[in-house]
Structures are given as structure tokens and as C-alpha cells.
Chain A
């Protein structure tokens, strides 16, 4: 075949008439993928071993006596493969017909409908009409515990879930019980998945609607969801996720593949903690004036007044947040620096008692820090204060008589006297707080779900997230509010995007040197190793 095929580490083969060169040890399924050809598959999953038992990825390899399972057949020099030949298609149609012998036609009430691999394949290549006349066998459904519900009749016995629990979670609680047509996935009697920390992933990898999330049950149709690439905000691991939104509400979180961070997985803790993104009662309009004198202002006049106040100069104490973006924290630091001498830059962040590792994918750990940007805050000069429940530690700040800037900390443990002595108290947050009573300016900012920005995860990786929700009222990203103020104080240009603020951040903070906004892409980029602390 081709010359490059002679190299020891690559092989060249022909798939559907196209020549392709792939590294040695690549499966035919992967090789076809590089050509943009998806070979149907159920049991194969890139994060798991391939048992080649679903029999739907069989392809024709010239010279081989029988069709070959493409998920475990390795590409070889000179192979001629047909994924779409009449023999392969006829076989797939036959296999699909067997799958449909017992599969219920309950797509209209199935959560998986719209993203179901059985639905897709049958639609593409299945028979127009089934020939089965026998009644289907019925298992009903079974509560597996945790967030997982099992519809036995929909199962195609790919055993992805069994292998995930065995190989990746290393907690083999799922198994195939019985045999033949009675075979079904189950746990050990009533000892379910309760208490497993990564069991939610079996719902993601189920190719059909057999394993579904109780939380998402009948909540939304797959085709009604908008999917936004994001980063999980619930711990400092920063798993790459998708926000699935509808009606401007987050409906669920799904992991997004990133082999440097979370593989294909995410933890149940992160997955379950999304309702706070939908919490109502947000701050929607900027307001100025302390206590009873508080009145709603528009952004222009609020920021103009604030600008004048900031220019008066004072000793500044800034309270940031480990949930705020790098851009917001850098802009906060810039505003604080321009307004006067900064005597404190602190943040508070909750810490769990333990880490929760995923044994089969050691990079992924539910970290102790239960906020997304603890490491970013550290790199940007903020110091942790308070206890593991994110309480206390603000004694110096509460009674400070200079300028006080609070970003993203709801101050739930502080009382109404907070900031009473401050010459200027600015509160940027998503929710009002009793401790914001003395604020001269209350400025509504967005959550991570409503803005663009970036976090630094515990591995020292800078990762971008995108906007999935519309911000309520006039809430604006903190990087925009603070970036505009910082620009005005420094006679610079107002940032037009999070990328602009990031560029300034990179210039101002050596730890981020060498990074570019566009270079972060959807998978992030690592900080230079010497910049990563701890």
C-alpha cells in the first residue's frame, strides 16, 4: 500500500474506498471515525474495555471469512474494510431486528428518546416493519438507588454500566443476572447503587433508555435542550461539562470529554448540585444608598458615582470569591489597586472533609475544595480566610473604615453591621444579603452559568466556560462591571469580552504568562508548572 504504511508505528488501510493511515493498535472503529464514518456500536465505549458482545459494529474485511467486530479488530496494513457493504448492512439490520424483539416501543415516554442509539440506528438502517409476532417479555422497572432508575425492557445488554462500575468506579455493584432471554442488569438484590459516588455515569453511558436519572425523569425532551460547554463549578477539579438548559433553567449537567481532566466522567456530587443556578429571587437592578436610603439606579449613574467615590482613595479591603471567574477576580484586584492601598484580598470557600477519587481514572477526584476557582483566586493574590464551612474570618473586614469591595460572597454568617464603618462599601453579588444593608452600591452580577469566563482547576489548568443562561434583569458579568471600572480608573478601554479581561490578566499576572484566550479552546490549557502552587 502507501509508503507511509511502512513506518513501524502506523498502518495504512482502506475503509469504504478511502485510504487512511492510523497509529498501530487502532481499532477499525476508530480508524473509520477518523474518516468521519460512525460504525454503529453499543457495548464499545472509549472509556471502557470492549467485550465485542453487541455484534452491531461488525464490518466486512476483505479476505476474512466472516464479518469482524470493528471495536476489537485492529487495523492492519493493506486491509480493505467495508462498513457499508450489503453484507454489513444486512447483518446490522438483522441484529437490530433482534434488539427490537423485546424492546418496548415507548419512545414517546422515554427520556432517552432523541439521543438514543437504538432509535438512531433503527431509523437509519432498521427494517420498516418488525416481523415479531410473539409477545415481548416484560421486566418492568427497578429502582437501583441513588439517582438511577432501571427500565429492564429497554436494555440492550451492552453491559457498559456493569463494566463502568467494575473497571472505572472499581465498585462492582452491577451485574447481569439470569441468562438467555431472562438476563437482566441488576444489583445484589436490594443492595443498590445508594452511596456510590460516581454511579450517575451509568446513565450517561447507557446507549438506550434503560438507565435513566430520577432527577431528570420526564423533565425535558432531549431535542428541547440547549447544550453549552461549561466547567463544573462544584469543586476545584473543574470537570468539563455541558449545561443542558431549557426555558432559561438548567435541567441537568452532563460530563464533556476531556482526557486531561475528567475523561468521560463526573461525580454524582457535582452532577446533582445545579439547582442553585436556577435559584429565584436574584438581585436584578443596581442600587445605591445605605439602608433605608437605598434606591434603584441605572448602571451608568451607579458606575459613575462609584467611579467618583473610588477616586477619592482609601485603604481598600477586597473580599473575592472562589466561585468567581479569573477575569472577575483579576478585575477586582485591579479596581482595588487603583482605588488605594490594598490591605486585604481574601476569599472564603467551603471545604469537604475528604476527597472522593475515581479509582479507574485517577486524574478525576472530587476535591476537598467545593468551589471552582480556589486555585485561580490564589494565583490572583487572594488569600483564603474563614473556616471549612466558609464562615468567619472577616473580623478585620467587617469593621474596616476604608473602602470595602465584596464580590460574590453572600456573607450569610455576617450581621447587619457589616461594613457600617466603611467609607465606601461596594457589594457585587447575585443575591441580596442582610450584610449588604450598609452597602453604598449593590451591583447585580451573573453566575458562571450566565457569563463567559475561566477557572483554574486543582491541576493548574485554565478552562473556559460559556454562557448557557440569560442573566436576570440587568445583572452583568462581574468582569464587565469591574473591568469597566478598572479601565476608567486607569484611563484604559472598556473590555468588550471576557477575552479582553483575560488578556489584561495575563499581562498583569506572571502566573498566567504565555496563555491566550483563544488558545484555551474547549479543553483548557495548563499553566506553566512553576506557577502552580501546592
Chain B
């Protein structure tokens, strides 16, 4: 944390404008608590609730997830309206939306599998392929591009040794290109899981990756 740039790590929704602490975001009873194996690591660190243990053979939603799914379903008059939040929930669990996941969501909502596929593929924020522990999305849109986003992206690829859209061999990093992340005031903007890293330049990249690895080693 010596680097001033990383003073505020930025939890989900934090643009750096507010000084939100982990307690503010996750609730004080969860500070320092580690998420169990329920959710996918790419979403887990910023979740404001505890996740449950997950049997890989189990149905998509069960326990608290089933409760949340049913709550989602009850909010909408039609099943198809609940599709997007249901897919969000599925991605939170699995990190990506696979054909099997689409099929399960379709069955749960009584929609056609093809329709679910249509929706899931329309939205770029549903990962259609598995992602690593950290999904690193580098904005390459106008403002960031002017400030060297291409070099930032290249640096991420170089230092993780992956191809664009691929996951590194240790399963930690997936690098993707993103359209505008609405961080145009602080280019280049990089979204890592739910956290924003702003004012990132190519030379900062090793430090960012170092910090992420430290989080992994610290069990987070």
C-alpha cells in the first residue's frame, strides 16, 4: 500500500470519490471473513454477504441462492423479465454463463433455451467462457486510448503471459478489452473484478499484478 495510487483500492461502486471501507461495503460482521467456495473468486471478494459451500454436482441454485433466486422471480410479473438478474446470480456462482448454465436457468424460469442464449450472448458482461480469479478489463475507448490504454493492455498481456480473452495457466488472470467503463476522468481505467483501478499506466501494471497475487497469497 505504499504507492499512493493504491491508497483506495475501490470496492464495488467506489470511484475513489468516497472513502468506503470494507466494513461499509460488506458489513462489519464480515470484515476479514473469507468467502467460502460458493461463489466464483472473480466476484467473491466484493460481495457484501457470505457465500455457501458448493457441491459441483448440485443444482444451480440451492440454499441461500435458491432463496435469492425466488426473491428475484417474485419481483417480476413475467418469467422472462427475471432472466437477466437470474443470469447475474448464475454468473456470480460460476464466474461465467456456460451453455449448461443457460439451460438450467431456462428450465428454472420456464423459458426456451434458445431465448436464454439470445439474451446471454447479447450482453457482453456475461462471460461466455470460464474466467480466472481476476477478470482484468482494460478500457481501450477514446479517453483511455489517448492516455495509452493499448500499452496498458499489452503490458497486462505481457506480464501475465496470456492471450487476449484467455486465462493464464495458473488460473489467476483473464485479460479482456472493455468498451467505456465510465472512468473517462481517470484514464486509463481498468476494472478488475468489481474494483476500479484508475490512472493506470503501462509501468504500473507489474505493481497491480503483484498486489493481486499478494491478495491471493493472503487468502483473498
Contact string, A479-517, partner B, CB cutoff 8 A, digits 1/0? 000000000000000000000000000000000000000
**Contacts A174-B114, A175-B115 given; does A188 touch B102 at CB 8 Å:** yes
Distance in angstroms between the alpha carbons of A166 and B99 in the assembled complex: 20
- Chain A residue with Cβ nearest B112: A172
Which residues of chain B are near A175, meaning CB under 8 Å?
112, 114-115, 117-118
**Contacts A188-B103, A189-B99 given; does A178 touch B114 at CB 8 Å:** no
Is B122 a contact partner of A188 (Cβ separation < 8 A)?
no
Is A173 a contact partner of B114 (Cβ separation < 8 A)?
yes
Which residues of chain B are near A174, meaning CB under 8 Å?
114
Docked complex: B104-125 residues within 8 A CB-CB of A: 112-118, 121-122, 124
Which residues of chain A are near B121, meaning CB under 8 Å?
177-179
Which residues of chain A are near B117, meaning CB under 8 Å?
175, 177, 186, 188-189
Which residues of chain A are near B113, meaning CB under 8 Å?
188, 191
Which residues of chain B are near A189, meaning CB under 8 Å?
99, 117
- Chain A residue with Cβ nearest B124: A179
17 example contacts (A-B, Cβ-Cβ < 8 A) are as follows A166-B112, A172-B112, A172-B114, A172-B115, A173-B112, A175-B114, A175-B117, A175-B118, A176-B122, A178-B121, A187-B114, A188-B103, A188-B112, A188-B113, A188-B116, A189-B117, A191-B113
Docked complex: A340-387 residues within 8 A CB-CB of B: none
Closest Cβ of chain A to B18, distance in Å, is: 33
Which residues of chain A are near B116, meaning CB under 8 Å?
188
Which residues of chain B are near A178, meaning CB under 8 Å?
121-122
Residues of B within 8 A of A (CB): 99, 102-103, 112-118, 121-122, 124
Size of the chain A interface, CB-CB below 8 angstroms: 15
- Chain B residue with Cβ nearest A178: B121
Which of A166, A173, A179 contacts B122 (CB under 8 A)? A179
Which residues of chain B are near A191, meaning CB under 8 Å?
113-114
Docked complex: A371-408 residues within 8 A CB-CB of B: none
Which residues of chain B are near A179, meaning CB under 8 Å?
121-122, 124
Docked complex: A126-179 residues within 8 A CB-CB of B: 166, 171-179
Distance in angstroms between the alpha carbons of A173 and B116 in the assembled complex: 10
Give 18 A-B pairs besides A175-B118, A176-B122, A189-B117 with Cβ atoms closer than 8 angstroms. Answer: A166-B112, A171-B112, A172-B112, A173-B112, A174-B114, A175-B112, A175-B114, A175-B115, A178-B121, A179-B124, A186-B114, A187-B114, A188-B99, A188-B103, A188-B112, A188-B113, A188-B114, A188-B116
Distance in angstroms between the alpha carbons of A408 and B37 in the assembled complex: 72
Distance in angstroms between the alpha carbons of A176 and B116 in the assembled complex: 10
Most buried by B among A166, A173, A179, A188: A188
Closest Cβ of chain B to A514, distance in Å, is: 47
Closest Cβ of chain A to B211, distance in Å, is: 34
Which residues of chain B are near A173, meaning CB under 8 Å?
112, 114
Distance in angstroms between the alpha carbons of A174 and B114 in the assembled complex: 6
- List of 3 A-B pairs having minimum Cβ-Cβ separation, nearest first: A175-B118, A188-B113, A172-B112
Which residues of chain B are near A166, meaning CB under 8 Å?
112
Closest Cβ of chain B to A411, distance in Å, is: 47
Most buried by A among B99, B103, B115, B124: B115
Distance in angstroms between the alpha carbons of A173 and B122 in the assembled complex: 17
Distance in angstroms between the alpha carbons of A178 and B120 in the assembled complex: 8
Which residues of chain B are near A176, meaning CB under 8 Å?
118, 122
Distance in angstroms between the alpha carbons of A173 and B117 in the assembled complex: 10
Closest Cβ of chain A to B153, distance in Å, is: 21
Closest Cβ of chain B to A397, distance in Å, is: 51
Which residues of chain B are near A187, meaning CB under 8 Å?
114
Docked complex: A22-36 residues within 8 A CB-CB of B: none
- Chain A residue with Cβ nearest B100: A189
Distance in angstroms between the alpha carbons of A295 and B51 in the assembled complex: 90
Distance in angstroms between the alpha carbons of A175 and B106 in the assembled complex: 13
Closest Cβ of chain A to B114, distance in Å, is: 4
Closest Cβ of chain A to B110, distance in Å, is: 12
- Chain B residue with Cβ nearest A173: B114
Which residues of chain B are near A172, meaning CB under 8 Å?
112, 114-115
Distance in angstroms between the alpha carbons of A171 and B117 in the assembled complex: 15
Most buried by A among B102, B114, B116: B114
- Chain B residue with Cβ nearest A177: B121
Distance in angstroms between the alpha carbons of A345 and B116 in the assembled complex: 56
Distance in angstroms between the alpha carbons of A177 and B115 in the assembled complex: 9
- Chain A residue with Cβ nearest B106: A188
Closest Cβ of chain B to A194, distance in Å, is: 13
Closest Cβ of chain B to A233, distance in Å, is: 33
- Chain B residue with Cβ nearest A176: B118
Closest Cβ of chain A to B127, distance in Å, is: 14
Distance in angstroms between the alpha carbons of A179 and B128 in the assembled complex: 14
Docked complex: A170-205 residues within 8 A CB-CB of B: 171-179, 186-189, 191
Distance in angstroms between the alpha carbons of A174 and B122 in the assembled complex: 14
Closest Cβ of chain B to A157, distance in Å, is: 12
Is B118 a contact partner of A177 (Cβ separation < 8 A)?
yes
- Chain B residue with Cβ nearest A189: B99
Closest Cβ of chain A to B104, distance in Å, is: 12
- Chain A residue with Cβ nearest B119: A175
Distance in angstroms between the alpha carbons of A177 and B126 in the assembled complex: 13
Closest Cβ of chain A to B106, distance in Å, is: 8
- Chain B residue with Cβ nearest A180: B122
Distance in angstroms between the alpha carbons of A189 and B121 in the assembled complex: 12
Closest Cβ of chain B to A124, distance in Å, is: 33
Which residues of chain A are near B103, meaning CB under 8 Å?
188
Closest Cβ of chain A to B170, distance in Å, is: 29
Distance in angstroms between the alpha carbons of A343 and B113 in the assembled complex: 59
Distance in angstroms between the alpha carbons of A170 and B162 in the assembled complex: 45
Most buried by A among B102, B103, B113: B113
Which residues of chain A are near B114, meaning CB under 8 Å?
172-175, 186-188, 191
Which residues of chain B are near A186, meaning CB under 8 Å?
114, 117
Distance in angstroms between the alpha carbons of A186 and B114 in the assembled complex: 8
Closest Cβ of chain A to B44, distance in Å, is: 28
Closest Cβ of chain A to B77, distance in Å, is: 19
Distance in angstroms between the alpha carbons of A191 and B117 in the assembled complex: 12
Closest Cβ of chain B to A3, distance in Å, is: 46
Which residues of chain A are near B122, meaning CB under 8 Å?
176-179
Distance in angstroms between the alpha carbons of A179 and B116 in the assembled complex: 14
Distance in angstroms between the alpha carbons of A178 and B122 in the assembled complex: 5
Distance in angstroms between the alpha carbons of A166 and B118 in the assembled complex: 13
Closest Cβ of chain B to A517, distance in Å, is: 47
